[in-house]
Amino acid sequence: LNDGGSGLFAQVVLALRRKIANIKIEVLVPDFKGQKEAVITVVEAGPLVLAHNLETVPRLYAKIRPQADYQRSLMLLQNAKIYGKIYSKSGLMLGLGESEDEVLKVLRDLRRVNCDFLNLGQYLSPGLSNYQVQEYVTPNKFGYFKEKAIEMGFLYVASAPYVRSSYLADEYFKNKGDSK
């Protein structure tokens, strides 16, 4: 697809809005190969949250996300904020061999592009031929990263071994309303 599928994301958001006026919609999008117009197309359709997962630290991108680019993913999240009144969200899988300092740097990078919501979960290898788990991160370590992320200014952080991209997504708005 020339637009990376952004037109389809937009169509789905618009169709849902026609059926249910006040629905809270989160879209989890690819990086659209860096096409700013694709991000604008999705944002203009009116989702409440645009999510794009960084997945891992920059050092591990060649092994874990060889088709992706860390800076391109950050730019996508930044463009979502520039071109729309929208919440942005990202996530990381931990246990791939990243260091604590690398994780904290990624969290700072996400806040630098005004990312609002964060999810951190344990990487679980889908099979023996896939990249293997390097570490099982303790619940205490997940708690530590959550505390640090909140201190950095994330509005909501889900951080635990079984957290995934849309884990308890409705919790992000409890007691916060949605001011966007």
pTM for the model stands at: 0.93
Residue 162, domain CATH = 3.20.20.70
HSE-CB for 81 with a 13 A CA cutoff:
16
Structure tokens at 7: 């037109």
Task: Report the 3 state secondary structure along 125-143.
Answer: CCCCCCCCCCCCCCHHHHH
β 49-51/26-28 pair status: parallel
Structural domain tally of the chain? 1
- Residue-wise pLDDT for 15-42, tens only, equals 999 999 899 999 999 999 999 999 999 9
Judge whether 88 lies within some domain. yes
Range of the structural domain that residue 34 is part of: 6-173
Assigned domain for 180 exists: no
